[in-house]
């Protein structure tokens, strides 16, 4: 037995097509409790299977109806008039029993769900981590992201149920998964959540096949949320091109890496990219305060969790809401111990540097290091150098960039710094870590304090740009500048080769062209 995806009535699997063709009027089976019990033992086709929450709610409703019917058969009380009950219900009150929920229900007024967050009645809910219990359930609960704020572009698209395929790009704990799940709760679409770390191309093809059948049968769209989509190789990402292009699925990809580097360009052109901001300390503070209000709603908050401690935890989290809630949960467990102090709690926390040796964070840190030297700020340059040391960066990789900076930003303003940078690289090779850190710091401060000149860099860039102009790269070398063999020394084209007079060294087409300019 299966449930009809249109009317939700029980129908034998062999008769489902005839039932739908009859506009859900025939081939309906008796939904008796005995038959339901038998049907629960029969595996249903995954295509017609409702979400687990809906199936459980329907079973609960059926059992409740059976129990009410049994009670009424034993009781002589008068059967209530359902029409009067429906007529007398208050506006906005659902006629469906309160214990039935639908994960894809739609608010008929606002276009989306606005569930009220309450303390979980399920005892297993309290066993979840605090970060999972505090995950926002509506757009209004999401903090620190203007995209879904009152005037946000993404919020407007969600409220109008015009969900485009998109890439959510942001750091850990900024709300990528939360936004995707809120979208799923607000639109009447089938929602599937996958993770690229344990999902392959074969599983994706099965989902596309089910989405095609779902679209033909119920005309419902399928939203696929792919977390860590950058972990799919660019060849694997091609599996999404046709379904996204045809509108079979709506893809929501989440990534912590720059999509321009990690997402295939053809797929990126079919999606809109939304960049999520790192949460500010004030945003983290509001999240922690809301969590404390929920956890200590019926009892007093421990004195150690005062405003100063909340600010410290918010700062410690470095813009990651998940980290902030995890360390708050640790603090709450420690706060119950006798004679506990803030200093003890602070010492129990370990700061973890977010640094991926093959990801964008590595190059972001090096870019900040380079620009700090360019801006003649030795303090900032040493800070980013120290971050790379603490993150376990290869010192030779740092030394190679220091050599580059010596010519890129200092150049002819101080010709002694290129040998210094080269010597720092040699010191790294000879003495290694951790002693070579001083040599790299020496070169870093010298480069930051030196005068800057980018004239060499800009001059070379001008030449390379000119070579892309039509015909410039193929201009013949002037006759008087060519290599002259000994037997041809007396010929005309070598007559000016030893003259001391001023000559034109550029080809005639580029005569007078200036590429290098002093003082830049």
Interval 397-443: pLDDT, tens:
999 999 999 998 898 889 999 999 999 999 999 998 889 999 999 99
Q: Percent of the chain beyond pLDDT 90?
A: 24
Q: What is the pLDDT of residues 234-254, one digit of tens each?
A: 888 889 999 999 889 999 999
Mean pLDDT of 90-106: 37
pLDDT > 80? residue 392? yes
Q: Find the angle CA(80)-CA(81)-CA(82) to the nearest 5 degrees.
A: 110
Q: How confident is the model at residue 65 (pLDDT cuts 50, 70, 90)?
A: low
In angstroms, the Cα distances linking 184 to 28, 156, 177, 195, 509 are: 31, 15, 11, 16, 63
Tell whether 423 is covered by a domain: yes
| Rounded Cα distance, 414 and 406, in Å | 9
**Distance (Å) of CA 280 to CA 93, 233, 276, 277:** 39, 33, 12, 9
User: Which pLDDT does position 354 carry in this prediction?
Assistant: 58
CA contacts within 13 A on the Cβ side of 432: 0
The answer to whether position 296 is within a domain reads yes
Maximum Cα–Cα distance across the chain: 131
Given 24, 58, 80, the domain boundary residue is 80
Strands 10-11 and 249-255: unpaired
Does residue 44 carry a pLDDT above 80?
A: no
Helix ranges (DSSP H) in 119-223: 130-133, 153-159, 176-186, 201-218
pLDDT classification of 107: cutoffs 50, 70, 90: very low
Please, are residues 171 and 278 in contact by the beta-carbon 8 Å criterion? Answer: yes
269 CB contacts (<8 Å, ≥6 apart)? none
Q: How many domains does the chain have?
A: 5
Same-domain status, 381 and 434: yes
CATH number at residue 436: 1.20.272.10
Going from the C-alpha of 131 to that of each of 178, 181, 265, 288, 310, the distances in angstroms are: 11, 15, 34, 10, 16
Q: Distance between CA 385 and CA 441 in Å, rounded?
A: 8
Cα 106–112–116 angle (5° rounding)? 100
Task: Output the pLDDT for position 406.
Answer: 93
CATH code at position 183 = 3.40.50.300
Pair (378, 401) in one structural domain: yes
* 3-state secondary structure at position 226: strand
* H or E stretch at 168: strand 166-169
Global pTM reads 0.58
Query: Distances in Å between the alpha carbon of 332 and those of 117, 130, 281, 329, 515?
Result: 21, 10, 20, 5, 65
Summarised one tens digit per residue, pLDDT across range 280-330 is: 999 999 999 999 988 887 778 888 888 999 999 998 888 889 989 988 988
CA distances from 210 to 186, 206, 218, 341, 479 (A): 22, 6, 12, 56, 73
* Residue 224 within any structural domain of the chain: yes
Q: Are 248 and 222 in contact (CB under 8 A)?
A: yes
Same domain, residue pair 150 and 269: yes
* pLDDT, mean over the chain: 77
Instruction: Note whether residue 462 is domain-resident.
Output: no
160-184 tens-digit pLDDT = 888 899 999 988 889 999 999 998 8
User: For residue 30, what pLDDT is reported?
Assistant: 76
Q: Does the residue 466 lie in any domain?
A: no
Which domain, by its residues, includes 342?
281-347
């Amino acid at each position: 037995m299966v449930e009809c995806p249109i009317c939700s009535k029980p129908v034998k699997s062999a008769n489902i097509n005839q039932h739908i063709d009859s506009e859900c009027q025939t081939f309906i089976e008796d939904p008796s409790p005995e038959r339901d019990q038998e049907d629960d033992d029969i595996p249903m086709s995954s295509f017609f299977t409702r979400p687990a929450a809906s199936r459980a709610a329907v079973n609960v409703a059926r059992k409740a109806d059976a129990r009410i019917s049994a009670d009424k058969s034993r009781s002589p009380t008068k059967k209530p008039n359902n029409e009067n009950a429906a007529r007398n219900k208050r506006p906005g009150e659902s006629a469906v029993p309160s214990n039935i929920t639908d994960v894809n229900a739609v608010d008929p007024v606002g276009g989306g769900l606005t569930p009220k967050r309450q303390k979980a009645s399920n005892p297993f809910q309290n066993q979840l981590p605090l970060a999972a219990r505090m995950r926002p359930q509506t757009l209004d609960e999401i903090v620190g992201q203007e995209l879904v704020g009152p005037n946000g572009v993404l919020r407007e698209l969600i409220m109008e149920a015009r969900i485009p395929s998109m890439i959510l790009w942001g750091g850990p704990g900024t709300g990528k998964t939360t936004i995707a799940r809120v979208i799923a709760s607000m639109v009447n679409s089938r929602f599937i959540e996958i993770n690229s770390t344990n999902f392959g191309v074969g599983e994706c093809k099965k989902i596309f096949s089910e989405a095609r059948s779902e679209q033909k049968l119920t005309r419902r769209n399928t939203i696929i949320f792919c977390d860590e989509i950058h972990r799919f190789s660019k060849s694997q990402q091609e599996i999404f091109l046709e379904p996204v292009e045809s509108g079979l699925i709506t893809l929501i990809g989440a990534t912590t890496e720059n999509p321009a580097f990690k997402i295939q360009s053809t797929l990126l052109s079919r999606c809109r990219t939304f960049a999520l901001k790192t949460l500010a300390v004030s945003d983290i503070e509001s999240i922690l305060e809301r969590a404390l209000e929920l956890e200590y709603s019926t009892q007093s908050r421990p004195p150690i969790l005062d405003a100063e401690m909340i600010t410290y935890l918010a700062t410690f989290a470095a813009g990651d809401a998940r980290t902030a809630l995890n360390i708050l949960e640790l603090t709450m467990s420690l706060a119950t111990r006798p004679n506990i102090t803030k200093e003890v709690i602070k010492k129990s926390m370990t700061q973890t540097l977010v640094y991926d040796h093959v990801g964008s964070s590595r190059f972001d840190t090096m870019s900040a290091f380079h620009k700090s030297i360019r801006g003649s700020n030795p303090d900032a340059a040493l800070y980013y150098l120290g971050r790379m040391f603490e993150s376990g960066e290869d010192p030779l990789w740092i030394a190679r960039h220091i050599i580059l900076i010596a010519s890129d930003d200092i150049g002819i303003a101080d010709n002694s710094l290129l040998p210094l940078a080269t010597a720092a690289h040699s010191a790294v090779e000879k003495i290694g870590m951790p002693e070579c850190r001083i040599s790299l710091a020496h070169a870093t401060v010298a480069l930051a304090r030196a005068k800057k000149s980018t004239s060499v860099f800009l001059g070379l860039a001008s030449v390379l740009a000119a070579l892309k102009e039509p015909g410039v790269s193929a201009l013949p070398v002037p006759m008087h500048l060519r290599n002259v063999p000994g037997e041809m020394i007396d010929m005309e084209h070598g007559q000016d080769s030893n003259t001391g007079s001023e000559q034109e060294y550029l080809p005639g087409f580029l005569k007078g062209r200036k590429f290098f300019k002093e003082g830049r």
